[in-house]
Amino acid sequence: AARSGALGYQIPTVGAYTRELDEEVETLVRRFPAIWVVFAGEGPAQRRGNGWNHPITFALVAAAQSRRNEAAARRGQGAGRPGAYQLLADCRALLAGQSLGLDVDPLQPGRVKLLASKWTRQVGAVVYGLELSTAYGGPAMSDAEAATLGDFTRFVGAWDVPAHGGVDLPTDDPPAGGDALADFNPQGA
C-alpha cells in the first residue's frame, strides 16, 4: 500500500528501524514521510491450555515534515502529502486485526506517543510511535520430556578471548562435595 498509491500518497521510507533518528537531520528529512517498525519487547509468558502465550509489542514509528510549520506536518498538506495523523490512521486501519500470514494473534493497536526532540521542532517534523500488540504460542514441555534433559547443577562454559588466547577448562569432575567455584576470585585476593 505504501508504494502502490492505494492510499492516495506514497511513503518513500518503510522499513525496520535501525537508529535512523540518530542520522543527520538534513539527510533524514529528505526521506519523509517515513514509517519504521521496531521490536519493543516481549512480556511475561502466560499459560494457555497445554502451552504458553508470549505477548509481544512492536512500535510503528511514523514521521512527517513540513517546511511551513509543525501543524502542517501533523495534519498534512493536501492531496498526496500526508501528515503524521494520516500516516497513523492509515497504518492502524491496515494493520488492526491482521496476523500477516504468521501464526500469531491478530495485531491490536495500542497507545500513540509523540516522540519529540529538539531537532524535530527545528525542522518542522513530527514523529509519533504507535504500539501494536500481538502474541504467539509455544508448547509447554511435559515433566517426562523435562526429565530427559538431566539436571542443571553444574555448568561448564568455555570461551576464547583473542587478546589472551584460548581458555581451557578442566574436563574432569570436581571432587565429591567440592565447590566448582572455590577457585573463582574476581578481586584477585
What's the N-to-C CA distance of the chain in angstroms? 64
- Tens of pLDDT, residues 41-78: 999 999 888 888 999 999 998 888 877 777 777 787 77
For the chain, which residues score pLDDT lower than 70? 1-6, 19-27, 29, 152, 155-156, 158-189
Scanning the structure block, which residue is given the C-alpha cell 505477548? 55
Q: Tell me the backbone φ, ψ of residue 7, rounded to 5 degrees.
A: -85, -10
Cell reading at 150: 538431566
pLDDT at 25: 60
Its pTM surpasses 0.85: no
pLDDT at 106: 97
For 13-139, give the CATH class.
alpha beta
Cell reading at 163: 587478546
The domain locations on the chain are 13-139
Q: Tell me the C-alpha distance between 39 and 153, whole Å.
A: 34
